[in-house]
Amino acid sequence: MKSYRKELWFQTPTRRQLVNITPQVAQCLAESGITEGLLLCNAMHITASVFINDDEPGLHNDFEKWLEKLAPEKPYNQYRHNGYEDNADAHLKRSVMGREVIVAVSGGKLDFGPWEQIFYGEFDGKRRKRVLVKIIGE
């Protein structure tokens, strides 16, 4: 069994942002030399997500509006977590969108359907944060 590990670093200019990280993850897979196995990609921070969806700007706008409806950023004092922090909403938004994805590796490729793309979902940005890529297989 082979295994591979890499950290990807991100610093978004805004509090919330969706970043298509499919090229970086595919690069990790190429570096690993693994052709059959499973790839884990997870946010290492608890106010960010890794998820799979469509790379379509209209939809990303819909996600922003929808997540703000489900778990609004403000007023900050609606959340008990917001004493020294102001990011309780980011913990909740990340819970909706998920921490991680597992992608099948088949024939040396990310084994994806027609529109699947991997996103880093930042909900409390403007600072350096990490995503972990771990691959096991042969």
Residues making contact with its own copies (CB under 8 A): 1, 3, 5, 36-38, 40, 42-46, 51-54, 56-59, 61-63, 66, 70-71, 79-83, 88, 91-92, 94-102, 104, 106, 111-116, 130, 132, 134, 136-138
User: For residues 66 and 137, is the Cβ–Cβ distance under 8 A?
Assistant: no
Judged by CB, which is closer to its own copies: 23, or 138?
138
Residue 73: what are its φ and ψ, rounded to 5°? -65, -45
Q: What angle do CA 10, 16, 21 make, to 5 degrees?
A: 40
CB of 14 to its own copies, least distance (A): 18
CB of 1 to its own copies, least distance (A): 5
CA end-to-end span of the chain: 5
